[in-house]
Amino acid sequence: MDQKINKEFGISVKKDENFSEWYSQIIEKAGLADHISAKGFIILRPYGFAIWDLIKTYLDQKFKETGHLNGFLPCLIPESLLNKEEKHFKGFNPEVYWVTSSGDSLLSEKLALRPTSEALLYSIFPKWISSYRDLPLKMNFWNTALRAEIKSTKPFIRNSEFLWQEGHTAHVDKKEAEDEVMTILYLYKHFIEKVLSIPTISGYKSNKEKFVGADYTIALEGMMPDGKALQLGTSHNLGLNFSQPFEIKFLNKNNIEELVWQTSWGISWRLIGALIMVHGDDKGLILPPIVAPIQIIIIPIYKNVNEHLVKEHANRLKDSLVALGYRVFVDERDEFTAGWKYNEWEMKGVPVRINIGQRDIESNNVEIVRRDNRQKSIIPVENLSKEIEKIFQSLQSDLYCKAETYLKEKTKIITSFNDFKRNLDSYSGFMVTGWCGNEDCEVGVKENTGADIRVIPFDIKDLPAGLDVTYEVIKDCIYCGKKANKTVIFAKAY
Amino acid sequence: MDQKINKEFGISVKKDENFSEWYSQIIEKAGLADHISAKGFIILRPYGFAIWDLIKTYLDQKFKETGHLNGFLPCLIPESLLNKEEKHFKGFNPEVYWVTSSGDSLLSEKLALRPTSEALLYSIFPKWISSYRDLPLKMNFWNTALRAEIKSTKPFIRNSEFLWQEGHTAHVDKKEAEDEVMTILYLYKHFIEKVLSIPTISGYKSNKEKFVGADYTIALEGMMPDGKALQLGTSHNLGLNFSQPFEIKFLNKNNIEELVWQTSWGISWRLIGALIMVHGDDKGLILPPIVAPIQIIIIPIYKNVNEHLVKEHANRLKDSLVALGYRVFVDERDEFTAGWKYNEWEMKGVPVRINIGQRDIESNNVEIVRRDNRQKSIIPVENLSKEIEKIFQSLQSDLYCKAETYLKEKTKIITSFNDFKRNLDSYSGFMVTGWCGNEDCEVGVKENTGADIRVIPFDIKDLPAGLDVTYEVIKDCIYCGKKANKTVIFAKAY
């Protein structure tokens, strides 16, 4: 980090002036990720990977608490397996990377790089499942999926290989599978809203947008600062669609053979993309404390004469905070000014900064600065941990409120297709409309405007509070004008 | 787990009669892994994956303590990058899987599935490194490597995709890189010997056997029960071999540009294979406590009349052990007899079993059974945690001693090529011999006997204690008879 980089350090554009460039610069300048030469692939640097690792640690614990166990799956899938559930595979076909040779020899059968693992895993389920006693079988895999992005790519949002988790379960009946699908969606929702501070709208995907091979898909949609939707998590009820072709059967309590009912579900590093977009500002990232690799940065402010004293004190302070379970780092580098360090750690989104100098040591105080609103306060050291807890909680809920206010502002009830188009042209956002349920109308809207049905909310209660939606207002299909039988949300999406 | 499986549960062959079949059966019957249809690929079931996860957790902590940070690398590498360090790539060429298309479209450049990530990662290093302040750069990646196994495959030992970690570092000078290579080897050695209880011999690889692209490779070799060697970990000094073609340079303190010095190193799930082979017996796996997913299995022994009481007591005991940090499971299944459960948990290698019945509850005792030697003792509940600690330590060191005794028995000083061949024919093992240093002799031995140089020990002190090796005994090359300038270990290997 020499002087050359120093000068170029800040983001050169404003978030609300050039959102896309702002996003790219944050990723590079906060040291999250870098492109490599092959299209759509990125490398995660330690800081970016640490955020993913914290997401993983939190969710893994929740998956285990709800009875799921981790396993490992190879990334190559023989073509014949993928073809067993035809509908499923057709959906991925254009995106599948094919391995055709090893060394100079052609393979006898082409191998696909995992776009998702249903086919591979379910081919082994008949070996593991024979009786109702083997059910439910609830597994999870932290790995990557590969889907060739031929058009535009965007780090964390649209990559040819991405980190994700894929859960796969098998159950004795339909009801249990339905419960699992919902349990997982609400587990995701809790994490994304309460931990990542990102509001979501939950509901069904339309038949056109659901996971190919699922009976139905339920999903969480978030809104990004440009008004576009980002799908944040999905949970699929697979019904018997895989247990039939793969012959996954069990003997029930009456010793009669039945097919298992299945689910699959996943979230990916898109959540990091959402974190950056939703919370970041012109100075850089803003990370909610639970997923911040460094939660507290300590900057010792010293001159030559008191360098040793101040640094020693800063490190003692660090040790006491580490002992309380916080992730803390002391920036002792002599080659940078305190101001430069403030900028760097704001760029990296560290939620709390502590400045400590000679005067603070003498008065037994510290200066504490909150990342999101840059509020400063001087507090006695003995109140520090209480104050940090307060800041963490307040930062977490302020981030959520800000994002929720924005979501409400940009969510409109629209009843005419002219308003629909005008709305999209002026500021995008979510449009709550009626839909007759006919796929032709869905396609018609898409072709005319670029927007599609992001989600069919479970209930109008699930829409942002304050939106005065009733079934009386939304009575006609936005496209054909016939009677609407569903209230849906249209938006442009990533 | 119905009655059909029940009957077939035990291993049907003896370890010392059909070692290879015994190994396959353990993997299946302990529920570690399963084959899938593509050659050389396996799926890890939760129990097998949990062992890997414990290996990972332990080593990851050690890597972090020594200043390494984790990142993420994509699994596809453009052909042009691989060709930049020619020697390196040539070594992998026959094993590389090639992606040639996505969907129905041919790719403009072939992509290799990662056989190892030097080329990919080092192509980005020049962006991350500009000054001596950016060094040392010490990174690690927990991922998989893909190397097509065309000939024989063996779960955990020889697979076309395997879980591993690859560490990569860059340093200001040769000395620092040398220190890193050695630090990591001894970190591995400590883990494999003290945690996995497997003795190793450490030293250099010959030029022929070193990592292509390294100045030199140091390695750890273990001996399996059939007398064959298994390489357990390697650490490579890459010198300037990659920093030259990839132009990885830094400005030193005097503002003069220099190339970085590099290392890379790795261990893989082979360690699970070694654990199975070295410690397992005719009843199944034996796991050292630190890598045992379940450390203590509690079997409640009950009849209908006292079922509730005994199970409740067993669960209370479990809770108290979990609170002490142990991984504990209570087997409450009614459909199996206690004897069946004993067999199952012995198969899975759980280090300690606790049997608890009405009489034990009344006398406030438990029966505790150690997995390796099946020693039983009845002890008062208040002494339980002390007793468990004692058993864990003793089991850990007994496993090591047993393996070390075997290693010593099967390591011979050999001074004539006839003895060499006779020795190999009769019982394999490690042969300590002299070598002139000429690759022709190394190849000659290999072609005549199938054995190669596994390791050139750092020092004869590094050989198993009790082997009376001096340089005086080993003075001639085992193949050409000329003066030996190295003491080496030949063996057949996996």
Per-residue confidence (pLDDT) for residue B2, from 0 to 100:
38
Spatial distance between the Cα atoms of A270 and A274, rounded to a whole number of angstroms: 6
**Which chain A residue has its CA at the smallest distance from B47's CA?**
A71
Q: Provide the sign of the torsion angle of the four alpha carbons B40, A56, B51, B221, taken in this order.
A: positive
Closest by Cβ to A70, choosing from B38, B46, B81: B46
Q: What pLDDT sits at residue A429?
A: 93
Residue A5 has pLDDT above 60, yes or no: no
Bridging pattern class, strands A137-146 and A69-70:
parallel
CATH level 2 (architecture), domain A12-279: 2-Layer Sandwich (3.30)
Q: If you average pLDDT over residues A437-465, what whole number do you get? A: 90
- State the smallest CA–CA distance between residue B85 and chain A in angstroms: 16
- Contact between A45 and B71 using a beta-carbon 8 Å cutoff: yes
- pLDDT interval class at B438 (50, 70, 90): very high
B338: nearest Cα among B375, B381, B369: B369
Distances (CA, A) of A2 to A11, A407, B137, B236: 17, 41, 16, 30
Q: Which CATH architecture has domain B294-397?
A: 3-Layer(aba) Sandwich (3.40)
- Residue A154: pLDDT band by 50, 70, 90 thresholds? very high
Query: What is the residue-averaged pLDDT of chain B?
Result: 94
Express each pLDDT in A193-226 by its tens digit.
999 999 999 999 999 999 989 999 999 999 999 9
Inter-helix orientation angle B384-409/B270-279, to 10°: 90
pLDDT for position A6:
42
| pLDDT for residue B466 | 62
Residue A472 scores a pLDDT above 70: no
Confidence (pLDDT) at B488: 95
B26's CB contacts (< 8 A; 6+ apart) are: B11, B32, B276, B280, B284, B285, B347
- Among A36, A73, A101, the residue with its CB nearest the CB of B43 is A73
Q: What is the pLDDT of residue B459?
A: 81
What pLDDT, on the 0 to 100 scale, is given for residue B94? 85
Residues in chain A closer than 8 A to B101 (CB atoms): 97-98, 100
Structural fold of domain A411-491: Translation Initiation Factor IF3 (3.30.110)
**Is the confidence at residue B398, as pLDDT, over 70?**
yes
Q: Which residues of B touch A249 (CB under 8 A)?
A: none
Q: What is the pLDDT of residues A416-430, one digit of tens each?
A: 999 999 999 887 899
The answer to whether residue B107 scores a pLDDT higher than 60 is yes
Sign of CA dihedral B334, B339, B342, B347: negative
| pLDDT tens digits, one per residue of A246-281 | 999 999 999 999 999 999 999 999 999 999 999 999
pLDDT for residue B1 = 36
Q: State whether B144 and A53 contact (CB < 8 Å).
A: no
Amino acid symbol at A310: V
Across A140-154, average pLDDT = 93
Contacts of A246 in chain B (CB under 8 A): none
CB contact under 8 A, B97 and A102: yes
Confidence (pLDDT) at A390: 97
Alpha carbon of A96: minimum distance to chain B alpha carbons (Å): 5
Two domains, one topology: A294-394 and A411-491: no
CA distances from B302 to B270, B298, B337, B338, B343 (A): 41, 13, 10, 9, 18
Q: Which of A36, A141, A166 to mutate to test the interface with B (most CBs of B within 10 A)?
A: A36
Q: Please check the confidence at residue B232 and state whether its pLDDT lies above 50.
A: yes
Which residues in chain A are closer than 8 Å to B251, comparing Cβ atoms? 2
Closest Cβ–Cβ partner in A36, A46, A77 for B139: A46
Mean pLDDT of B187-209: 97
> pLDDT at position A2, please?
38
CA A236 to chain B, closest CA, distance in angstroms equals 22
Mark yes or no for CB contact A146/B50 under 8 Å.
no
Instruction: Give the rounded percent of residues in chain A with a pLDDT score beyond 90.
Output: 89
Q: Which fold has domain A294-394?
A: Rossmann fold (3.40.50)
pLDDT at residue B460, rounded to an integer: 75
By C-alpha distance, the chain B residue nearest A92 is B103
Q: Nearest Cα to B435, choosing from B450, B453, B408, B422?
A: B453
**Which of B46, B70, B98 shows the shortest C-beta gap to A49?**
B70
Could A46 and B70 be called an inter-chain contact, meaning their C-beta atoms sit closer than 8 Å? yes
* DSSP string covering A245-309: TTT-EEE-TTS-EEEPEEEEEEEETHHHHHHHHHH-BTTB----GGG-SSSEEEEE---GGGHHH
CA distance A244 to chain B (A): 19
Chain B residues whose beta carbon lies within 8 Å of the beta carbon of residue A50? 69-70
Q: Tell whether the model's pLDDT for residue A434 goes beyond 70.
A: yes
Q: List CB contacts (< 8 A) between A130 and chain B.
A: 2, 4-5
pLDDT at residue number B138:
98
Contacts of B136 in chain A (CB under 8 A): none
Containing B368, the helix (H) or strand (E) segment is: strand B365-370
The H or E element containing residue B364 is none
**Which of B84, B110, B88, B115 minimizes the C-alpha distance to B99?**
B110
Which pLDDT score, from 0 to 100, does residue A356 have?
Answer: 96
* Residue A437, CB-side half-sphere exposure with 13 Å CA sphere: 5
pLDDT band, very low/low/confident/very high, at B4 (cuts 50, 70, 90): very low
Are A129 and A135 within 8 A, CB to CB?
yes
Q: What residues of chain A lie within 8 A of the CB of B111, using their CB?
A: 38, 97
Give how far B14 is from chain A: nearest CA, Å.
25
On the question of pLDDT at A359 being above 70, the answer is yes
In this predicted structure, what is the pLDDT of residue A256? Answer: 98
| Strand-pair partners of A281 | A284
Determine what percent of chain B is predicted with pLDDT higher than 90: 89
Residue B158 confidence (pLDDT): 96
Does the pLDDT value for residue A53 go beyond 90? yes
Q: How confident is the model at residue A467 (pLDDT cuts 50, 70, 90)?
A: low
What percent of chain B has a predicted confidence (pLDDT) above 70? 96
Chain B residues in contact with A49 by the CB 8 A cut-off are 69-72
Nearest residue of chain A to residue B51 (CA atoms): A71
Is pLDDT above 50 for A1? no
Are B204 and B458 within 8 A, CB to CB? yes
Q: Does domain B17-75+118-279 have CATH number 3.40.1360.10?
A: no
Does the pLDDT at position A8 exceed 70? no
Distance between CA atoms of residues A205 and A215, nearest Å: 11
Q: Indicate the domain borders of chain B.
A: 17-75+118-279, 294-397, 409-491
Report whether pLDDT(B35) > 90.
yes
Task: Work out the number of other CB atoms within 10 angstroms of the CB of residue A77.
Answer: 29
Q: How confident is the model at residue B8 (pLDDT cuts 50, 70, 90)?
A: low
Q: How confident is the model at residue B3 (pLDDT cuts 50, 70, 90)?
A: very low
Residues in chain B: 494
Distance from the Cα of B309 to chain A's closest Cα (Å) equals 24
Pick the CATH number of B409-491 from 2.40.30.10, 3.40.720.10, 3.30.110.30, 3.40.640.10: 3.30.110.30
pLDDT score recorded for residue A443: 97
Q: Taking residues B270-274, report their average pLDDT.
A: 98
Chain A contact probe: residue of B64, B99, B294, B331 with most A CBs at under 10 A = B99
| pLDDT tens digits for range A16-26 | 999 999 999 99
Q: Rounded CA gap, B336 and A86, in Å?
A: 41
Classify residue A16 by its DSSP letter.
Answer: T
What's the rounded mean pLDDT across residues B409-415?
A: 91
What residues of B are in contact with residue A256 (Cβ under 8 Å)? Answer: none
CA-based nearest distance A422→chain B, Å = 37
Q: For residue range A74-92, list pLDDT tens digits in order.
A: 999 999 998 887 776 777 8
Q: Which chain B residues contact residue A44 at CB under 8 A? A: 71-73
pLDDT band at B317 (very low <50, low <70, confident <90, very high): very high
Q: Write the ipTM.
A: 0.95
Helix (H) or strand (E) holding B397: helix B384-409
Give me the pLDDT at residue A120, please.
96
Distance CA B265, CA B235 (A): 4
